[in-house]
């Protein structure tokens, strides 16, 4: 179990390396996660602690009334992706061909000395093959993949819940008597995001009991106009598009994990 004391110790080590050795925060998190065998939820906690500690240190060392703190924060998603990439490399290494490479340029030359001594035993048995990956290493990788799969499943559930809530909030805006006009919002949304907004607008039409529409990008964009993208409705739609893309990324990660697990379990 990762205690708060140990979490603070790891975070301080990572931040110290960031300031003294210019080591990227995400790189430090990845190394600590690998050394400590952290699961994705623990990686997320470590990232939050590292970012908070870095901010406080930078803020305390900055002078002036308008102190600005800028730095490249650690990313839990990037760290977890590296966990997947490492597992993928392991899987590829486990399935790689073990045939020795023919790098001896003199192997095809004829023997000119019939009395040449026999090669030493070590020379006979020497091989360029890499040592096989142990079952223990494979089992360890499988355990990490299962932990990551659990984390991604929870992330997908939370994002779907957020997507549903935001969609209902957006649809409600157009049911108020003094609310925005959907058709005008529809034109602004399609003008801003094009085909990416189409599926969401069609779903909104269905929720509002409106007939489906055929969107013509050329028609919507042939007249230039200024669109306020900071209205509550436009911000909610932007969030829906981003959320949908994030769900798709999580699903891609789940498919990748399933593929790795299938190949590792088959060994």
In a domain, 1, yes or no: yes
Taking 90 as the threshold, does the pLDDT of residue 159 lie above it?
no
In a domain, 101, yes or no: no
User: Chain-wide mean pLDDT for the chain?
Assistant: 77
Measure the N-to-C terminal CA separation of the chain; round to a whole number of Å.
30
Confidence band of 155 (pLDDT split at 50, 70, 90): confident
Retrieve residue 30's tokens: 């990845």
Where is pLDDT greater, at 186 or 214?
186
Q: Which DSSP state fits 120? A: P
- Based on the fold, state whether residues 156 and 40 are members of the same structural domain: no
As a whole number, mean pLDDT of residues 78-92 equals 69
pLDDT of residue 223: 54
In a domain, 122, yes or no: no
- Based on the fold, state whether residues 51 and 142 are members of the same structural domain: no
In a domain, 146, yes or no: yes
As a whole number, mean pLDDT of residues 103-130 equals 46
In a domain, 214, yes or no: yes
pLDDT of residue 105: 35
Task: Give backbone dihedrals phi and psi of 96, rounded to 5 degrees, phi first.
Answer: -70, 155
Alpha-helical segments (H) within 174-222: 182-193, 198-207, 217-221
- Based on the fold, state whether residues 145 and 238 are members of the same structural domain: yes
- Asked if 247 contacts 159 with a C-beta cutoff of 8 angstroms, the reply is yes
CA–CA dist 50, 42 (Å, integer)? 12
Retrieve residue 105's tokens: 């340029």
* CA dist 240 → 45, 157, 202, 243 (Å): 26, 15, 13, 5
Confidence band of 99 (pLDDT split at 50, 70, 90): very low
Query: CB 16: neighbour CB atoms within 10 A?
Result: 14
Taking 70 as the threshold, does the pLDDT of residue 140 lie above it?
yes
CA–CA dist 110, 257 (Å, integer)? 51
Domain that holds residue 195: 138-265
SS3 of residue 106 by DSSP: coil
- Based on the fold, state whether residues 143 and 235 are members of the same structural domain: yes
User: Mind listing the pLDDT tens digit for each residue in 14-38?
Assistant: 999 999 999 999 999 998 888 888 8
Size of the chain, expressed as the number of residues it contains: 267
With 0.85 as the threshold, say if the pTM is over it.
no
Environment class of 14 (CB within 10 Å of its CB; exposed 0-12, middle 13-18, buried 19+):
buried
In a domain, 86, yes or no: no
Residues of the chain with pLDDT > 90, as a percent, come to: 19
pLDDT of residue 104: 41
The distance from CA 67 to its chain's CA centroid, rounded to whole angstroms, is: 31
Task: Note the maximum CA span of the chain.
Answer: 104
- Based on the fold, state whether residues 142 and 230 are members of the same structural domain: yes
Taking 80 as the threshold, does the pLDDT of residue 172 lie above it?
yes
Of 45, 74, 103, the last residue of a domain is: 74
Of 42, 74, 106, the last residue of a domain is: 74
- Based on the fold, state whether residues 145 and 56 are members of the same structural domain: no
In a domain, 103, yes or no: no
Confidence band of 60 (pLDDT split at 50, 70, 90): confident
The distance from CA 174 to its chain's CA centroid, rounded to whole angstroms, is: 35
- Based on the fold, state whether residues 54 and 146 are members of the same structural domain: no
CA–CA dist 179, 172 (Å, integer)? 9
CA–CA dist 50, 78 (Å, integer)? 14
Angle ∠(66,69,74) on CA atoms, nearest 5: 165
In a domain, 133, yes or no: no
Q: Which DSSP state fits 56? A: H
pLDDT of residue 67: 57
- Based on the fold, state whether residues 143 and 236 are members of the same structural domain: yes
Of 74, 95, 111, the last residue of a domain is: 74
- Based on the fold, state whether residues 145 and 254 are members of the same structural domain: yes
Q: Which DSSP state fits 223? A: S
Domain count, the chain: 2
């Amino acid at each position: 179990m990762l205690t708060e004391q140990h979490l603070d110790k790891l975070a301080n080590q990572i931040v110290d390396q960031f300031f003294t050795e210019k080591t990227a925060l995400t790189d430090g998190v990845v190394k600590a996660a690998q050394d400590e065998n952290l699961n994705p939820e623990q990686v997320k906690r470590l990232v939050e602690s590292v970012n908070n500690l870095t901010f406080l240190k930078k803020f305390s060392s900055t002078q002036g009334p308008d102190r600005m703190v800028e730095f490249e924060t650690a990313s839990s998603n990037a760290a977890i992706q590296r966990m997947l990439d490492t597992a993928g490399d392991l899987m590829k290494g486990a399935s790689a061909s073990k045939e020795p490479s023919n790098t001896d340029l003199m192997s095809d030359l004829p023997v000119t000395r019939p009395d040449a001594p026999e090669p030493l035993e070590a020379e006979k048995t020497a091989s360029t093959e890499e040592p096989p990956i142990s079952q223990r290493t494979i089992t360890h990788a499988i355990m990490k993949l299962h932990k990551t799969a659990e984390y991604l499943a929870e992330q997908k559930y939370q994002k779907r819940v957020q997507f549903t809530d935001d969609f209902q909030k957006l649809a409600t805006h157009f049911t108020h008597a003094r609310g925005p006009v959907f058709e005008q919002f529809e034109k602004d949304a399609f003008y801003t995001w094009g085909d990416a907004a189409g599926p969401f607008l069609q779903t909104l039409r269905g929720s509002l009991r409106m007939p489906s529409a055929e969107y013509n990008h050329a028609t919507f964009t042939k007249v230039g106009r200024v669109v306020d993208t900071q209205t509550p409705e436009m911000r909610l739609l932007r969030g829906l598009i981003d959320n949908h893309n994030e769900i798709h990324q999580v699903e891609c990660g789940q498919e990748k994990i399933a593929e790795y697990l299938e190949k590792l379990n088959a060994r």
